[in-house]
Amino acid sequence: MSLTIYDISEKAGVSIATVSRVLNGSSKVKESTRQKILDIIDEYGYTPNSSARAMGLKSMQTIGILCADSSDIFLAKAVYYLEQNLQSAGYESLLCCTGYNLDAKKNYVNLILSKKVDGLILVGSNFIGEVETENQYIIESSSKVPVMILNASYHHDNVYSILCDDMNSMYRAATEMYESGIHDILYLYNSLSYSGRKKLDGFRMAMQSQKEPGYEDLICRVPEDISSLENVADFISDFAKAGHTFHGVIAADDELGIAAVKYAQKHSLSVPENLSIIGYNNSILTDCCTPELTSIDNQLEIQTRCLVKTLIGVLNGQEMPQKTVFSGTMVKRKTTNF
Amino acid sequence: MSLTIYDISEKAGVSIATVSRVLNGSSKVKESTRQKILDIIDEYGYTPNSSARAMGLKSMQTIGILCADSSDIFLAKAVYYLEQNLQSAGYESLLCCTGYNLDAKKNYVNLILSKKVDGLILVGSNFIGEVETENQYIIESSSKVPVMILNASYHHDNVYSILCDDMNSMYRAATEMYESGIHDILYLYNSLSYSGRKKLDGFRMAMQSQKEPGYEDLICRVPEDISSLENVADFISDFAKAGHTFHGVIAADDELGIAAVKYAQKHSLSVPENLSIIGYNNSILTDCCTPELTSIDNQLEIQTRCLVKTLIGVLNGQEMPQKTVFSGTMVKRKTTNF
């Protein structure tokens, strides 16, 4: 039975990336390490793909896609683009919706690995926990197959992250709104996922660099159990009634941005004259409200194309960048006039 | 090598359903047919699952889900519910997005069948062609695995259809609007898929049974290349300017319904006082416009649960209904006051 790249890395006590470099004839590896790896391959043999060995067959040409909820507008788009790119590359997509519970996610990862997939794609930043022990399952998975993470970053051998720089995108949006003359900006969010934290950091950085006092009072977390947009609008009304004044709203997603448009309608505030609003994700929802919502596009299509290209490179034994970061762009519609 | 249910049906010259009945000890089969099938099984042996034989392994426990575009809000929800139900039943989901071209769909079906799936689910009515030759690929697939169709109906052995009675749902909605006193109803649509045709039929039936003259003049097809909701709103404006008067709008999907809300806003028509609007699908979009859109819910979650239950029954050799039809319900929001 010949060895996979993972077996070789274990036996040689070096990273998978190093084995990969040797297999591809890279000159960046110490000669003694190179010799050690080649000796192991001479002794045991080498099979390019772990699934191939496990199945006694050629590769399954199947990639496991895990996401919390493929009916979420943002995640649905990501899954669609991934599937299309994988298809073009000759791979099938095994889809697994895990829900948002971390323990459930770990179980699903084990299940999908038992199906002998060639790689794993974790879609959405909610796969990365705040506490390191929560991410042990990613490390374990990466010893079996390449793990690709979309929209979040995690550093480990055989783990590849493709994401939008949410912090910087939010920083630039908040700065642009501030510099247009709107200094009292309500920041709305309801999730502290990896990207949720980055967006909030970006907003804070922007306010700090403008030396805006009291901006923390206008950072407002909407309870996650408020689901209807009407109720979120009422929640914003209560926040305003409690004595908070704001002439701009930046929302961590488009739903919250639309709730802000509804809040303005309820109180006959004209948008954008009396209230400017920016959403996030540039989803199909931005067109549904009136006026249409300005929103930050995190370039999901480009991210997914890059992710699949990186994965295929890794599967073919090429050296690929472990982290690729894209910049978001603001798509201006009618809730802003700067 | 023992035979599958499909091989037996071919050798005996009877339908798969008949073989299934014999295997399950049903008394509904002619004695001579029953004997013929049992003789074949005695001679060659019988393996309950085609994948099992092909793989030389136990069943793959994998179902192929085909849909045109899993990022479409309606289809994304269907895929999500199907995946969740299949997961509960111990099956994995192989997702394949085919696009809307029929030739492409056929190729994808062949590809996914070569992956030895246990069954095939076609999501969305655009898998059924108007012309019979377009549906030959369904017949061919059904000779290999059970084919489940969501949201459309096709009658053939080993093909199972689960759908909403779109015709009747639309008939009832149009009748309710008419009987509330609104007799000039604009019917908006942009697709003549299987369910698109049924909805239009339902609208026509309602107007005919009310003996409303001239209703055909208010049936309006929105060109499919008009994609932004703003542009659809302008298209409706042009239609009105061309001399058409209407005080109600029934739209074949929620996007078109929201475009009608935008049309009303552009012309300062108050909704629902001067214009009542009903959408279709009861999607997340209904909450995004103001006032919120009344919409017909086609009970997608219940349909998907029924589909998976039917499929698992078929895979276990039980007799299952070939067609199950649910009724849609109108979810009333603020674009109607009846």
Using one digit for the tens of pLDDT, what is the confidence trace for B38-57?
A: 888 878 777 654 433 333 33
Tokens at residue A278, please?
């920016």
Interface test with A, best of B72, B92, B232, B268 (most A CBs within 10 A): B92
- Least-confidence region, from A310-314, B59-63, B136-140, B208-212: B59-63
Q: pTM higher than 0.90, yes or no? A: no
Which residue in the set A83, A258, A290 is minimally distant from B70, CB to CB? A83
A222 and A314 both lie in a single domain: no
pLDDT of A51: 39
Does residue A338 lie in a domain region?
Answer: no
pLDDT of B51: 39
A84 and A36 both lie in a single domain: no
Q: Is the pLDDT of residue A160 over 50?
A: yes
What is the per-residue pLDDT across A59-98, written as a single tens digit (0 to 9) for each? 568 999 999 999 999 999 999 999 999 999 989 899 999 8
Minimum CA–CA partner of A76 in chain B: B71
B316 and B171 both lie in a single domain: no
Residue A82, chain B, CB below 8 Å: the answer is: no
**Chain B 264-303, CB below 8 Å of chain A: which residues?**
265, 284-285, 287-290, 292
Contact A290, B262 (CB under 8 A): yes
- How many residues are given for chain A? 338
Contact B94, B149 (CB under 8 A): no
d(CA B165, CA B201): 11
B178 and B291 both lie in a single domain: yes
d(CA A250, CA A227): 19
CATH of the domain at B92: 3.40.50.2300
One-letter identity of residue A263: Y
The backbone torsions φ and ψ at residue A121, rounded to the nearest 5 degrees and listed phi first, read -120, 120
Residue A279's Cβ-count burial label (10 Å; 0-12, 13-18, 19+) is buried
Residue B198, chain A, CB below 8 Å: the answer is: no
Q: Is the pLDDT of residue A142 over 60?
A: yes
Q: Is the pLDDT of residue A50 over 50?
A: no
Per the listing, tokens 């999908």 go with A112
What is the per-residue pLDDT across B56-79, written as a single tens digit (0 to 9) for each? 334 568 999 999 999 999 999 999
B133 and B189 both lie in a single domain: no
Does the interface ipTM go beyond 0.85?
A: no
Tell me the chain A residues in contact with residue B287 when contact means C-beta distances shorter than 8 Å.
228-230
Minimum CA–CA partner of B90 in chain A: A111
d(CA A29, CA A16): 12
Mean pLDDT of B207-217: 96
Quick check: helix, strand or coil at residue A156? coil
d(CA B186, CA A103): 51
Q: Is A288 in contact with B292 (Cβ distance < 8 A)?
A: no
What is the per-residue pLDDT across A278-315, written as a single tens digit (0 to 9) for each? 999 999 999 999 999 999 999 999 999 999 999 999 99
pLDDT of A14: 82
B123 and B110 both lie in a single domain: yes
Contact B62, B93 (CB under 8 A): yes
B96 and B213 both lie in a single domain: no
Does residue B337 lie in a domain region?
Answer: no
Does residue A218 lie in a domain region?
Answer: yes
A254 and A191 both lie in a single domain: yes
d(CA B280, CA A217): 42
pLDDT of A47: 63
d(CA B328, CA A75): 27
Quick check: helix, strand or coil at residue A44? helix
Q: Is the pLDDT of residue A330 over 60?
A: yes
A211 and A128 both lie in a single domain: no
Does residue A333 lie in a domain region?
Answer: no
Per the listing, tokens 């655009």 go with B126
Interface test with B, best of A65, A82, A234, A290 (most B CBs within 10 A): A290
Does residue B335 lie in a domain region?
Answer: no
Minimum CA–CA partner of B57 in chain A: A55
Residue B149, chain A, CB below 8 Å: the answer is: no
Q: Is the pLDDT of residue B292 over 70?
A: yes
Instruction: List, in order, residues 6 or more apart from B243 with CB less than 8 Å away.
Output: none
Instruction: List, in order, residues 6 or more apart from B103 with CB less than 8 Å away.
Output: none
A241 and A294 both lie in a single domain: yes
Residue B59, chain A, CB below 8 Å: the answer is: no
Interface test with B, best of A65, A67, A80 (most B CBs within 10 A): A80
Mean pLDDT of B191-217: 95
B251 and B320 both lie in a single domain: no
Contact A177, A248 (CB under 8 A): yes
Residue A121, chain B, CB below 8 Å: the answer is: no
What is the per-residue pLDDT across B238-269, written as a single tens digit (0 to 9) for each? 999 999 999 999 999 999 999 999 999 999 99
CATH of the domain at A27: 1.10.260.40
pLDDT of B115: 73
One-letter identity of residue A42: D
Does residue B338 lie in a domain region?
Answer: no
- Min Cα distance A99 → chain B (Å) is 10
Strand ranges in chain B using DSSP code E only, listed in sequence order: 62-67, 92-97, 119-123, 147-150, 159-164, 185-189, 219-221, 248-251, 276-280, 294-297, 323-326, 329-331
**β-pairing verdict for A248-251 and B92-97:** unpaired
d(CA B289, CA B276): 14
What is the per-residue pLDDT across A169-198, written as a single tens digit (0 to 9) for each? 999 999 999 999 999 999 999 988 889 999
One-letter identity of residue B159: V
Contact A143, A136 (CB under 8 A): no
Q: Is B95 in contact with A83 (Cβ distance < 8 A)?
A: yes
Nearest by Cα to A335 from A282, A98, B241, A315? A282
Interface test with B, best of A95, A101, A333 (most B CBs within 10 A): A95
Does residue B308 lie in a domain region?
Answer: yes
Over chain A, what is the mean pLDDT?
A: 89
Does residue A337 lie in a domain region?
Answer: no
Instruction: Report the number of distinct structural domains present in chain B.
Output: 3
pLDDT of A103: 77
Residue A10, chain B, CB below 8 Å: the answer is: no
Q: Is the pLDDT of residue A240 over 50?
A: yes
pLDDT of B179: 97
Tell me the chain A residues in contact with residue B262 when contact means C-beta distances shorter than 8 Å.
290
User: The domain containing residue B23 runs over which residues?
Assistant: 5-55
If one counts every other C-beta atom within 10 angstroms of the C-beta of residue A120, the result is: 25
Mean pLDDT of B3-15: 78
Mean pLDDT of B129-152: 91
A151 and A260 both lie in a single domain: no
Nearest by Cα to B231 from B266, B194, B200? B266
Q: Is A76 in contact with B70 (Cβ distance < 8 A)?
A: yes
**Chain A 231-260, CB below 8 Å of chain B: which residues?**
258
